Structure 1
Amino acid sequence: MEEVEVPCYFVCPISLQLMRDPVTLPSGITYDRDGIERWLLTAGSCPVTKQPVPEDLEPTPNHTLRRLIHSWAAIHSFAAHAIQTPPKPATDRGRVASLVSRVAAAAAAAAKTTKWSSSELLAALRELRDVAAESERSRKLVAAVPGVADALFAVLVASGDGEALEIICSLQLPEQCLLRAIETNDSELVDALVSALQRSNAASREHAALLLQKVMSLSPNRNLPEQVFLEVVQLLRDKQQVSKAATKAALHVLAGATPWGRNRVKAVDAGAVPVLVDMLLELEERRACELALGALDRLCGCAEGRAELVAHGAGVAAVGALMMRVSDVTTDKAVRVLRSLARHAATPAVLQEMAQTGAVGTLCVVAAQSSEHCCYSQRTRERARETLRLHARAWRTSPCLHRHLQAIYPDC
């Protein structure tokens, strides 16, 4: 089918896409409503002519152009679903900007009194939350208001307000805004999230976990307080009472915070290892298994983590059972965990358990895979061979190892 060229006057000058809801500014230039509303929140002028646009002005719908676009799309069978006119907006940019200003002003006033029970602040937050919940368009408008992240984070840090936390999690805030807010509030923000994790409200705990995940992804080199790991581990224990999103966020935090020694030990002391092992015995979702094994791999980077794993009655068996069963990622992580044990925790009892639970046999199968027909990476296969060579004397002739596995055991 010949590609259809979209007429230039049907294209929004901002998004360079076919307009769905064309609106015209006093300058005479027409834009798609979604793009121009977000632009005016930050610039306040026409993008093409640079003429100022009053804050309270609403762009005029261009009904004639919209009908032309629809007629043209119908004639050319041009992705009709993509140009359907959105419903009439319930929220305008002026209202959104006014709400954010109210939140910022009420937060500043409440901060001076050291009491965060301001009825004006609470009312503004709840109205802003309702606006953000209206539609994707409304959330984009709120996120585009200058200073919205600073205002909401200020409220969250000073009061731990649940509405502020919910709004932050619902918005797709630009990374630079989030990073600035994180750096500005630093440890106070972490303390506020810990307080939210300690609440009985499942929604607040989920929002706190999701925001903590964002904090760790944008600012990973952080030495977190012990209380963070205690609450994250408790969230994993309560996985039946919280959402899957909250559980995955907690796993992301554990994996993301523990490449460094101090955080690893704190997580182990919080009881993370036995909780992760228990999860591996129950989890069925692929991504959750990958995250749990990834966190366990990080924790086995310290002696305390390895000791906790071998002390768990099903620790070695759970890791070995996931090799070659869920995904390439879980296979790689499981091999890494077993290699850590073989290198640094190889007591006779541990070596025997690895053979008895079938972990050694599965390592043989992974190591023997040929590069041509193997889905595992070369690095994974090399790690498996390295692990088997470490204790070949103990394992190669083990009665727990079947003869066909002994035959493919790598040479020392």
Structure 2
Amino acid sequence: MNENIDVPQYFLCPISLQIMKDPVTTVTGITYDRESIEHWLLTAEEVTCPATNQPLPRDSDLTPNHMLRRLIQAWCIANAKNGIDQIPTPKTPLQRSTVLNLIRKLKNPVMYVDSLKKMDELANENEKNRKCMAEAGSAKAMVSFVLKYFKEGKSTGLEEALRILHLTWNLSINENQQLVEDNLALVEALTWILKRANLENSVITKTQALTVLTKVIEVATPSLLERLNPGCIEEMIKTLHCNKLKTSQQAVKSALQILIRMCQVGTNQMKIIEAGTVFELVEAELDQNLESKKITELIFTLLAHLCSCADGRAQFLKHPAGIAMVSKRLLRISPATDDGGLHIFALITKFSATREVLLEMLRVGGVSKICMMIQADCADDLKRKAREILRLHSNVWRNSPCIQVYLLTRYAR
């Protein structure tokens, strides 16, 4: 674009200060580019008209300014030789009737594939489309689709259906929560999809299924969580085999979030431990392909939950690198990791503190890290917990040359 071109001021969006591609007028009478004002309405904490500062409803109607758009297009064509790009005719906003028509076509064995692809395309296009689709009941339609094809043993279209369900999921719509909160069949269907994805080595389908399952588990009733099939836990553990299977980091995060939620209800904690999860968590954290702070935080949170019972601690201590791994991560990742790691050590030193375990903590630097936490810029609660651990076993650790004597004598019994 030639810098000497004088662009008419009223062609520019007051927000982006760029030539408007799809001018729309708000209820305050000011015209903006649709993309800019929609983003503003979606993200602003206090929604007001950017130009007039008048209150503006978040779901405010936006009226297309066809006259201004035609003027901009004509001006762009006239100045094309000066490097001005033409403004394409904007797409018509998605209508509820269009979505309902696409949902109806899902029941047609000839048209359902094309319908799913179109819905997937629309959902990925913009937030406005996703909102329209959510309000038209696309989430319910996708759940019905997944259940139907699970019963029939078919997989065609499941990847698109899962992606649409994820993108158009909206908990503010009460029907959505009621649809899944006690829907055991849906969890079983998603578990079945995960098994197929593992067999077919389909990373995308597996990630989509885990993302949707995370949303379901978040709102699931305690009754549903207690009735989950052990196969669900097995699929979560398989996801942690990052060296043996190709697994996306998003899939690993989802699997960990699901296990953490399951762990908090009924007898699930023992089921998760009996499935060998503690050992797999240590292995996953040792995996160099998972250089993710969030994954480390989730692993430490889950380990802390599982180490709260004797079997979990026993499984943790059986891993030759368990204590060393926690020691290495302390003060290196994040406050959340420090909290989880120190909680694991507190449980170990209080309930499973054999002399062998205590000397192992000393040998791999765990005790030194606990001392450092007292001196570091940590939360007071962490410092207090560190002091308690040191005070509990000062008789074993006080003579070690690697421990500063004053740290132990200061907090002696």
Indicate the residue corresponding to 2:83 in structure 1. none
User: Retained in 2: the 8 A contact 1:12–1:32?
Assistant: no
Cα offset, 1:326, TM superposition: 1.0
The structure 2 residue matched to 1:131, chosen from 118, 122, 127, is: 122
Tell me the amino acid that sits aligned with residue 155 of structure 1.
F
Residue identity (%): 28
Say yes or no: does 1:331 pair with 2:331. Answer: no
Deviation of 1:130 after TM superposition, in Å, equals: 3.4
**Cα distance change on mapping 1:321 and 1:209 into 2, 3 Å:** same
Extract unaligned runs of 5+ from structure 1.
23-30, 36-47, 49-58, 71-84, 108-117
Paired residue secondary structure (2:240): helix
- What amino acid is aligned across from residue 316 of structure 1 in structure 2? I
Match of 1:226 in 2: 230
Mapped pair 1:166 → 2:163: yes
Aligned to 2:255: 250
- From the superposition, tell whether residues 33 and 241 of structure 1 become closer, same or farther in structure 2 (CA, over 3 Å): closer
Shift of 1:67: 8.0
Indicate the residue corresponding to 1:180 in structure 2. 178
Give the equivalent residue in structure 2 for 1:95: 98
Match of 1:154 among 132, 144, 152: 144
Counterpart CA distance in 2 for 1:333 and 1:34 is: 38
Structure 1 pair 393/91, CA: closer, same or farther in 2 (3 Å)? same
Deviations 1:97-136 (A, max 9, x none): 3112333xx18xxxxxxxxxx3344443333223334444
Report Cα offsets for 1:178-206 as digits up to 9, x if no partner. Answer: 312213x6111110110111122222211
Partner of 1:144: 135
Task: Give the TM-score normalised by the residue count of structure 2.
Answer: 0.73
Contact 1:21 1:86 survives alignment (8 Å):
no
* 1:242 CA drift (Å): 2.0
CA RMSD, 1 decimal: 3.5
Whether 2:277 is the aligned partner of 1:272: answer yes
Deviating more after overlay: 342-351 vs 260-269: 260-269
Structure 1 position 20 matched with structure 2 position 33: yes
- Could you tell me whether the CA contact under 8 Å between 1:206 and 1:243 is conserved in 2? yes
Q: For residue 324 of structure 1, report the CA deviation from its aligned partner.
A: 0.6
Whole-Å separation in 2 of the counterparts to 1:232 and 1:143: 28
> What displacement does 1:18 show?
5.9
C-alpha distance in 2, partners of 1:181/1:139?
19
Q: 1:252 to 1:86 in 2, by over 3 A?
A: farther
Q: 3-state SS of the aligned residue for 1:408?
A: helix
Per the alignment, do residues 260 and 139 of structure 1 end up closer, same or farther by CA in structure 2, a change over 3 Å counting? closer
Report the number of matched residues: 341
Match of 1:237 among 229, 234, 241: 241
Amino acid at match of 2:250: A
CA contact (8 A) 2:139 2:164 kept: no
Q: Unaligned 5+ residue runs, structure 2? A: 1-13, 16-23, 42-56, 74-86
Structure 1 residues 402 and 18, CA gap change in structure 2 (3 angstroms): farther
Q: What displacement does 1:234 show? A: 0.1
1:207-356 matches, within 5 Å, as: 207-219=208-220, 221=222, 222-223=225-226, 224-238=228-242, 241-260=246-265, 262-282=267-287, 283-356=290-363
Going from structure 1 to structure 2, the CA distance change for 1:12 and 1:334 (only over 3 Å counts) comes to same
8 Å CA contact 1:20–1:86 kept in 2: the answer is: no
